Amino acid sequence: MSESSKIKVGISVGDPNGIGFEIILKTFREKNLFNKFIPIAFAHPQNFFDERVKYKLDTNILGVKNVEGVQENCLNVINIWDHPFPINYGKDETTAGNFAFSSLESATKWLIKNKLDVLVTAPINKRNIQSKHFQFKGHTDYLDKEIKGESLMFMISDQIRVALVTDHVPLVKVNEFATEKNIIKKIHILEHSLKRDFNISEPKIAILGINPHAGDYGVIGEEEETFIRPIVKAQHNKGIRIYGPFPADGFFGRQSYQNFDAVLAIYHDQGLIPFKTLTFGEGVNFTAGLDRVRTSPDHGTAYDIAGQGEADHNSFKKALHTAREIFLNRKKFNVAID
């Protein structure tokens, strides 16, 4: 596949009561995107037609029966619901969660069948999507179960890349998951992703400490001395360019992330607060480590502005371009190692 080739991007629309329809429509009103993408959304076509009228957009929409029937130069929509969903902007409803899951499930099935090249997911509500079919803390855990590989939540922007050892885990349980085995696993997934997905031949990684001031040599906490620092030394001796553990506050305060290809944070807010402070509205959530490419915007359902036409689609658009870049880099990487 050449750099100019179009890729088939599957799109799960997320919570219909949020901003998913709006950001998708706003994105594909930019006709130049059809030079790189054949977008395929999983929803009810009439919802897209209605939302297009509401927001006074001229996005070209086509309802199709399956992936084999898609066409170029339009937003293809495959029907996954018996009737147009009755959108109730900003409302947390179980039916909206059911719709969001149906969209995600359908898109994932086509992705696994290799009928789609990449998957871009619009935001879900993690509460209302819960059911007997979806008992996960988010997209990442669901896709980790459905797709071959082991996942790593990896936040991407032009300024900084941040991966997480633990993601949607309560703070009081971080130590249960930030084990020596798990940290080593995440380091390996991250290094491989930087090589395969971002074409960085010798990636340089920083790992943060778990305690304030990275434990201050055991005075505040012992985890850095008992296993994080030994892990870094052992992995470095194996040829992985990883450094740390660094105290998170000073590391970000001095902008030390600029000296590394990626940062491995131990827990969610340690990595995501600085990431979103620096890049909110422009960042991308990438599920690294899996056999298929999935990205999403770095924001949620935005119930507070749903239906008002105020949603910014730039993060969703960035997620599209990031997915394509990763897909093409993987093609090159696989050719190089064959």
Q: pLDDT per residue over 102-131, tens digit each?
A: 999 999 999 999 999 999 999 999 999 999
Which are the contacts of 55, defined by CB distance < 8 A and separation ≥ 6?
22, 25, 26, 309
> Is 209 a member of any domain?
yes
For residue 302, being part of any structural domain is answered with no
Q: Give 247-269 pLDDT, tens digit per residue.
A: 999 999 999 999 999 999 999 99
Long-range contacts made by residues 248-251, C-beta under 8 angstroms, separation at least 24? 248/208, 248/209, 248/214, 248/274, 249/212, 249/213, 251/206, 251/208
- CATH number of the domain to which 271 belongs: 3.40.718.10
Pair (120, 237) in one structural domain: no
Answer yes or no: do 84 and 166 share one domain.
no
According to the model, what pLDDT value does residue 140 have? Answer: 93
* Percentage above 70 pLDDT, the chain: 96
Residue 305 within any structural domain of the chain? no
Q: Domain check: are 79 and 162 in the same one?
A: no
pLDDT at 119: 99
- Specify the number of domains making up the chain: 2
Can you give the pLDDT at residue 211?
77
The per-residue pLDDT for 2 is: 47
Complete edge-to-edge strand list for the sheet that includes strand 75-79: 61-64, 75-79, 37-43, 7-12, 118-121, 293-297, 284-290, 149-156, 161-164, 262-265, 204-208, 241-246
Could you tell me the two tokens for 115?
């009928």
Percent of the chain with pLDDT over 90: 86
Structural domain boundaries, residue 93: 1-148
Q: Are residues 185 and 77 in the same domain?
A: no
| pLDDT for position 338 | 58
In a domain, residue 134? The reply is yes
Kindly state whether residue 93 falls inside one of the protein's structural domains.
Answer: yes
Residue 84: is the preceding peptide bond cis (ω within 30°)? no
Compute the C-alpha angle 7/111/317, nearest 5°: 50
Q: Which two tokens stand for residue 187?
A: 């380091």
Is the same domain home to 281 and 184?
yes
**Model pLDDT for residues 174-209, shown as the tens digit of each residue:** 889 999 999 999 999 999 999 999 999 999 999 999
Question: How many whole angstroms separate alpha carbon 270 and alpha carbon 273?
Answer: 6
141, 154: one domain: no
Q: Give the pTM.
A: 0.94
Number of residues assigned to the chain? 338
Residues 26 and 116 grouped into a single domain: yes
Asked which of 116, 148, 180 is the last residue of a domain, the reply is: 148
Q: 259: which 2 tokens?
A: 């000296």
Residue 304 domain-assigned? no
Residue 33 maps to a domain: yes
Q: What is the pLDDT of residues 14-68, one digit of tens each?
A: 999 999 999 999 999 999 999 999 999 999 999 999 999 999 999 999 999 999 9
Task: Please check whether residue 135 lies inside any domain of the structure.
Answer: yes
